[in-house]
């Protein structure tokens, strides 16, 4: 790649600003507006804007601008996130929802690595998140460990439990593989329901996070402003999501990502080229389970209470739906999809009761009409070839 080919491909930068600003405004509006009619109007405007952007090449322009100015993008997202947090600073419920969306999104990033990159089916994401949550609860009861370690332990225990499933996951394929994780997901729930040691169906209580002496249950006082204590959690989950996003992006761009693709698309070809299929599958499974366990622990700490009912097979299905909805294998699609699936039912009061049926119809509609998801994954392009 020569320097001149790079300058040739440069596009305008402004779509990036517009996109980030629009996302921030839309997000704030969706969280803040309580009036159902106004909310409906806001949703319609958002949908229309997205549709027009896709129709008239705005999305493509944004993608080009984003890939050319990665640090500008990261900076803009940081600024926009801080602005959103500032506007929502005393809206406890809105902040809690935002943090929940980020937790779901991060778990789904792990699922993207497993299902989108390496082609493993995992119908037990909620069970792995639950493993992390219960680890945090049990360690919290013992006391003694700093919370940063507790959260990491949540991820590690999920990886450990997942490693018990590695042999069946590696040996089976397709529908047979779906069975192993599904059976595990259902089993996890039945086991917790029956078990008194882990609190049974009533669940367990656990204290909030205290990270390096910073107590997350306190409000933040800064420059004479009072920020709700939930801002702590939004910032923490935001940082974790950003890290996971960057990590998964690097993974995808590196040779590891190419190898994942080869393993997913054609195992025979992969083994002919000397790739150790089992190794890459185990790696992807481990990364995904770690993220699920870690975020499960954060979730448990944030809500202060966990029960088997939080981590059912239905929740695993919701997580897989987010991945499919966003466009399987596309890490950016996960964010709007998580937003739609987690936030909308909370906001639209009339679908609260009909939440699950709403998900079901939404996913059926997406699968029949737009099977690649909202933001389809692009075919990998090598830069030299693209600019030639």
Partner 1 sequence: MGMIGQHLLNGLMQGTIYGLVAMGFTIFFGVMNVIKFSHGDVLTLGAFGGLVAVWAANALGLSVPLQFIVALCVAMALTAVVGAGISHFLIMPLRNAPPLNMLLMTMMVGTAIREAIRLFFPNGTNPQRFPELLPAGGFNIGPSFFRTDAIILIIAGAASIGAVYWIINHSKFGLAMRAVAEDTETARVMGINFGRIIPLTFALGSITAGFAGMIYALYYSEINYSMGLLLAVIGFTAAIVGGLGNIWGAIIGGYLFAGLQTFVVAAMPSMSDYKNVFAFVLIIVLITWRPTGLLAERGSERV
List contacts with partner 1 (CB under 8 A). 115, 121, 165, 167-168, 171-176, 178-180, 182-184, 186-187, 190-191, 193-194, 268, 313-314, 317, 320-321, 324, 328, 353-354, 356-357, 359-361, 363-364, 367-368, 371
Helix H or strand E encompassing 222: strand 220-222
Helix H or strand E encompassing 371: none
Q: Which of 288, 266, 289, 286 minimizes the C-alpha distance to 277? A: 266
* Minimal distance, residue 187 CB to partner 1, in Å: 4
Phi, psi dihedral angles at 333 (to 5 degrees): -65, -25
Distance, CA of 231 to chain centre = 19
Pick the closer one to partner 1 by CB: 149 or 356: 356
Contacts of 60 (CB under 8 A, 6+ apart): none
* Minimal distance, residue 239 CB to partner 1, in Å: 31
Whole-angstrom CA distances from 153 to 53, 118, 134, 286 are: 43, 25, 11, 14
* Minimal distance, residue 317 CB to partner 1, in Å: 6
Alpha carbons within 13 angstroms on the beta-carbon side of residue 173 total: 8
Pick the closer one to partner 1 by CB: 260 or 313: 313
Q: Are 282 and 100 in contact (CB under 8 A)?
A: no
Contacts of 84 (CB under 8 A, 6+ apart): 24, 27, 28, 98
* Minimal distance, residue 161 CB to partner 1, in Å: 13
Pick the closer one to partner 1 by CB: 30 or 342: 342
Pick the closer one to partner 1 by CB: 116 or 140: 116
C-alpha–C-alpha distance, residues 151 and 194, integer Å = 26
Pick the closer one to partner 1 by CB: 68 or 267: 267
Pick the closer one to partner 1 by CB: 32 or 376: 376
- Buried/exposed code over 288-312 (b: 16+ C-beta within 10 A; e: otherwise): bbbbbbbbbbbbbbbbeebbbebbb
* Minimal distance, residue 227 CB to partner 1, in Å: 38
Helix H or strand E encompassing 220: strand 220-222
Task: Give the number of other CB atoms < 10 A from CB of residue 9.
Answer: 12
* Minimal distance, residue 254 CB to partner 1, in Å: 25
* Minimal distance, residue 311 CB to partner 1, in Å: 15
**Helix, strand, coil percentages in the chain from 3-state DSSP, rounded to 5:** 75, 5, 20
* Minimal distance, residue 281 CB to partner 1, in Å: 14
Pick the closer one to partner 1 by CB: 233 or 285: 285
Pick the closer one to partner 1 by CB: 257 or 329: 329
Angle (nearest 5°) at CA 132 between 214 and 195: 120
* Minimal distance, residue 177 CB to partner 1, in Å: 9
Pick the closer one to partner 1 by CB: 42 or 108: 108
């Amino acid at each position: 790649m020569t320097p001149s080919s790079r300058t040739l491909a440069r596009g305008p930068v402004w779509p990036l600003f517009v996109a980030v600003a629009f996302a921030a405004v839309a997000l704030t509006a969706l969280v803040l507006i309580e009036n159902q009619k106004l909310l409906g109007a806001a949703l319609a405007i958002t949908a229309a804007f997205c549709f027009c952007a896709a129709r008239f090449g705005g999305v493509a322009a944004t993608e080009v601008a984003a890939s050319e100015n990665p640090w500008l993008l990261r900076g803009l997202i940081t600024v926009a996130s801080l602005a959103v947090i500032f506007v929502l600073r005393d809206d406890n419920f809105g902040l809690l929802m935002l943090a929940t969306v980020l937790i779901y999104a991060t778990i789904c990033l792990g699922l993207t690595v497993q299902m989108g990159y390496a082609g493993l089916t995992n119908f037990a994401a909620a069970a792995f998140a639950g493993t992390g949550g219960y680890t945090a609860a049990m360690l919290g009861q013992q006391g003694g460990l700093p919370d940063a370690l507790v959260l990491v332990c949540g991820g590690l225990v999920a990886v450990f439990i997942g490693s018990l499933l590695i042999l069946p996951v590696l040996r089976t394929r397709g529908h047979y593989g779906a069975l192993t994780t599904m059976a595990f997901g259902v089993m996890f729930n039945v086991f917790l329901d029956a078990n008194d040691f882990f609190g049974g169906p009533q669940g367990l209580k656990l204290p909030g996070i205290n990270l390096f002496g910073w107590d997350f249950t306190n409000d933040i006082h800064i420059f004479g402003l009072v920020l709700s204590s939930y801002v702590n959690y939004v910032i923490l989950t935001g940082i974790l999501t950003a890290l996971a996003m960057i990590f998964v992006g690097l993974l995808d761009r590196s040779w590891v990502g190419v190898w994942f693709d080869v393993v997913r698309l054609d195992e025979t070809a992969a083994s002919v080229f000397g790739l150790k299929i089992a190794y890459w599958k185990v790696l992807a499974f481990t990364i995904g389970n770690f993220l699920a366990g870690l975020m499960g622990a954060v979730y448990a700490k944030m809500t202060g209470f966990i029960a088997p009912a939080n981590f059912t097979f239905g929740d695993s299905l919701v997580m897989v739906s987010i991945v499919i909805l966003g466009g399987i294998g596309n890490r950016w699609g996960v964010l709007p999809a998580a937003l739609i699936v987690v936030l909308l039912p909370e906001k639209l009061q009339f679908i609260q009761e009909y939440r699950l049926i709403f998900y079901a119809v939404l996913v059926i509609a997406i699968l029949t009409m737009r099977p690649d998801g909202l933001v389809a994954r692009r075919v990998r392009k090598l830069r030299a070839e693209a600019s030639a």
